[in-house]
Amino acid sequence: MRRTALRDRETRISQNDAATIWQLSVRAANLPEADTSELADLLLDIPATLRDELVHFANSASHSGFLLVRGLPVGDLPPTPDRHSPRVLAHHPTSGTLRLVADLLGSLVGYQDEKNGALLHDVHPVKGEERRIENSGAVAFDFHTENVHHPLRPDFLGLLCLRQDHDGVAATRVASVREAEVLLTSRQQEILRSLRFSSAYPTSFSRNIAGPRPMAGPHPVLFGQASEPFVRFNSHNTTAPDAEGTEALRALSEALESVCRDIVLQPGDLVLVDNHIAAHGRSSFTPRYDGGDRWLRRCYSLRAVPRWVELMMTRWRVIPELARIGGIF
């Protein structure tokens, strides 16, 4: 795995600012999910150093596609769960931290098709699911953009580390398509921009679907201006109908590997990923199921939710099922 300097892509929170953020997080964690007015007031009180970094990251197109924030408080924690436990940290202050961060970047959202619309996701190994290619697994999770199949993919995702794995080896892997594209030939870039690729629904979206996983597409893998590309890709789920497309996907995976940053998150580290510029993944690790396993928390942020989607929501901030909105795109 490649590990390179991150200093130009990270910011560290001072102890004084961390104390302020903790106080705001405690308040935000206890607000109703639908409350936006009081949450907006709390956003104004976030220390300017962090607020300015997040707003700049959200408003500008980061070439690297990620920002690492270090030194956030995580407080006291229960043992890491070894099964799906969606409410274990329901009102924990880290819930407030992620609500604040997501709403500074855009708007915190969840997806009704995924984890019953949970707005925050606990990322830890689950007994019996070690080999699943999703956040309950412990095997390597190769490069992907989040919710590759969805027309309303998150603009940003955040991963806050609560606890490292025992061996301190599990890395969050981030690779920018804007750094990788120069390693592709012009023909490979042309192919990846063509409307020929399909992406299967991720397993987290298809647990309750009988039969083969549905497919989304055809869609391009690269899009946007040639000098400032965006990416829609999942190395596990995105496929091509022909040998030329398959070879272009392989070349993209290799290019992403060449520019990848491996970040071994420590408690209090938050990595923010621009989901249209950077693909991300995870290296493998060995869970022990002793209460001390790796534990991250994930949030999604969307810059703008179409008004007609808001009107179809049965829960505030939760994108309706694809079966209801998919045919409209």
Q: How far apart are CA 145 and CA 80, in angstroms?
A: 26
Establish if 321 belongs to a structural domain.
yes
pLDDT score, position 34: 67
Domain carrying residue 276: 7-172+265-328
In a domain, 54, yes or no: yes
233: exposed, middle or buried (Cβ count in 10 Å: 0-12, 13-18, 19+): buried
Q: How far apart are CA 13 and CA 94, in angstroms?
A: 15
314 Rama sector, left if φ>0, alpha if ψ -120 to 50, beta otherwise = alpha
Which residues, 6 or more positions from 314, have their beta carbon under 8 angstroms from its beta carbon? 112, 320
Name residues whose C-beta falls within 8 Å of residue 109's C-beta, 6 or more positions apart in sequence: 102, 119, 154, 300, 301, 302, 305, 317, 318, 319
- Amino acid making up residue 323: A
Contact 142, 280 (CB under 8 A): no
Looking at the domain assignment, is residue 275 inside a domain? Answer: yes
Return the pLDDT at 327.
Answer: 60
3 state SS of 100: helix
Question: DSSP letters of 253-290?
Answer: HHHHHHH-EEE---TT-EEEEETTTEEEEE-------S
Enumerate residues 6+ apart whose C-beta is below 8 A from 196.
218, 220, 240, 241, 242, 245
In a domain, 98, yes or no: yes
CATH number (domain holding residue 135)? 3.60.130.10
Closest among 126, 70, 127, 146 to 298, alpha carbons compared: 146
In a domain, 308, yes or no: yes
Quick one: CA dihedral 213, 217, 222, 228, positive or negative? negative
- Model's pTM, two decimal places? 0.94
* Residue 247 domain flag: no
Q: What is the pLDDT of residue 326?
A: 73
CA-to-CA separations, 35 to 29, 74, 163, 309, 315, in angstroms, rounded: 11, 23, 29, 19, 12
Bridge partners of 234, per DSSP, are 144
pLDDT at 8: 57
Confirm whether 190 is domain-assigned.
Answer: no
Domain count, the chain: 1
Helix (H) or strand (E) holding 69: strand 66-70
- For residue 274, is it left (φ>0), alpha (ψ between -120 and 50) or beta? beta
- Per-residue pLDDT 10s for the chain (329 aa) are 344 445 558 999 999 999 999 999 999 999 987 677 899 999 999 999 999 999 999 998 889 999 999 999 999 999 999 998 878 998 999 999 999 999 999 999 999 999 999 999 999 999 888 877 777 777 888 999 999 999 999 999 999 999 999 999 999 999 999 999 999 999 999 999 999 999 999 888 877 677 788 899 899 999 999 989 999 999 999 999 999 999 999 999 999 999 999 999 999 999 999 999 999 999 999 999 999 999 999 999 999 999 999 999 999 999 999 988 876 66
Local structure of residue 128 (DSSP, 8 states): T
Residue 98 · residue 158 · CB < 8 Å: yes
- Supply the pLDDT for residue 139: 80
Does residue 73 sit within a domain?
A: yes
pLDDT on residue 325:
86
Contact 114, 203 (CB under 8 A): no
Both tokens of 271, joined, read 């990595």
